[in-house]
Structure 1
Amino acid sequence: MRVHCRGSNTPPPAAFPSCEAGRQAEGPTRARVSRHDAHPGGVRTYIDLAVGHEWNPIRPHVTEFHVIDMDLDVVSTAGRGVFIDDEDEFEDHRAAMNYPAALAESLEASAAELFQAVKAQQAPFDGTDVGWFTKGRI
């Protein structure tokens, strides 16, 4: 499992070596992580499983991050705790778009692994990520 940071106008942090500008991520399953410390819905962590991660420089000091959202999300909220969201959408799209079995299995395994990591508050879901996401907002 690799956790990818979201694109911003700053280079990816060294703690996330797979977030190198201008480089396609390898493998079928990766995740984007977003922290919402002041989210009105009480969202603490939101992980959007996606494929096709690519950093594209669009002008000096600005890099765009492209992904293909694969529906599955691992979410932690104050009210519901940790859960996997949009499993119904994933199954609908899996059938409608005829996802390869290996891709679907990899996504499901990654969602389960991330669910356990968030639930157990394993790094970076133990709060160590807050500093990196704060730097991305500056």
Structure 2
Amino acid sequence: MEPGTPIRCEMTKWGDRPHWRFSGILLGSDEHGDWLGFPEGTHNHRPGYEFRSDVDAVTLVPAGRWYVATFHEPGIWCDLYVDITTTPTWEGDVLRAVDLDLDVIRMSRVPAAPPPGRVAGPGEVFVDDEDEFAEHQVAFGYPAEVVQQAQASCDELVRAVRAGLPPFDGAHRRWLDELTRLTRSASS
């Protein structure tokens, strides 16, 4: 696929249960993986909930890794939201992965109202939905190797994000700039 190609993300939960679906554009690739762009106003929906994004965001899809990482422009409560997933795969212009509940989140350094129930300081990195991960292991029957790989990926990501290791060192800025360039040229 060429940069600027429209793409769709179709996430599921274990057992092919529907989860998040949204559209964006392929921005390009680098040593970290494929980068996707989602402009402000992108429609995100899952069963029982939907919203339009308040800020531009880019998502890194690393090859062969158990996560997708979304970096947000300032203006919302977090600047990084990493979903622990099965290894993402492309089927044509559709990205698919199974969301495995665990999320590594870095709170925005710029004060913004956190969602209800969230009490974390600016720039804090934490793991969310550990309770959901434990519940779903039983309810959905996650295989032991999936549980082990998801937890190992989560632990590694917490360390990398806290240390500011690549690609969590600002590498996403280039791609946010590219998203702005592409969306600006599309609207003129």
**Fold match, TM over 0.5?**
yes
- Is 1:32 aligned with 2:72? no
- Identify the residue that residue 149 of structure 2 maps to in structure 1: 106
CA contact (8 A) 1:34 1:46 kept: yes
Q: CA deviation at 1:52?
A: 4.9
- Is 1:125 aligned with 2:168? yes
- Identify the residue that residue 102 of structure 2 maps to in structure 1: 72
CA contact (8 A) 2:67 2:88 kept: no
Q: Write 1 or 2 for the structure with the bigger share of strand.
A: 2
**Correspondence list, 1:1-138, <5 A:** 8-10=24-26, 12-17=28-33, 19=34, 30-41=66-77, 43-57=78-92, 63-77=93-107, 78=109, 79=121, 81-136=124-179, 138=182
Question: Residue deviations 1:81-131, cap 9 Å, x none?
Answer: 000111000110011112111110111011010001001111111112221
Q: CA deviation at 1:44?
A: 1.6
Q: CA deviation at 1:134?
A: 3.4
- Structure 1 pair 92/32, CA: closer, same or farther in 2 (3 Å)? same
Provide structure 2 residue ranges, at least 5 long, that are not aligned to the other structure.
Answer: 1-7, 10-23, 36-61, 110-120, 183-188
Cα distance in 2 for partners of 1:16, 1:70 equals 21
Q: CA deviation at 1:46?
A: 0.8
Equivalent residue of 1:10, what SS?
A: strand
Q: CA deviation at 1:26?
A: 7.5
Larger mean Cα displacement after TM superposition, 120-129 or 48-57: 48-57
Question: Residue deviations 1:61-85, cap 9 Å, x none?
Answer: xx22121111100000032500011
What is the percentage of aligned positions where both structures have the same residue?
A: 31
CA RMSD in angstroms, aligned pairs only = 2.6
Structure 1: 4+ residue segments shifted above 3 A: none
**How many aligned positions are there?**
121
Equivalent residue of 2:102, what SS?
A: strand
Q: Which TM-score applies when normalising by structure 2?
A: 0.56
Equivalent residue of 2:157, what SS?
A: helix
Task: Look at both structures and tell me which one has the larger radius of gyration over its CA atoms.
Answer: 2
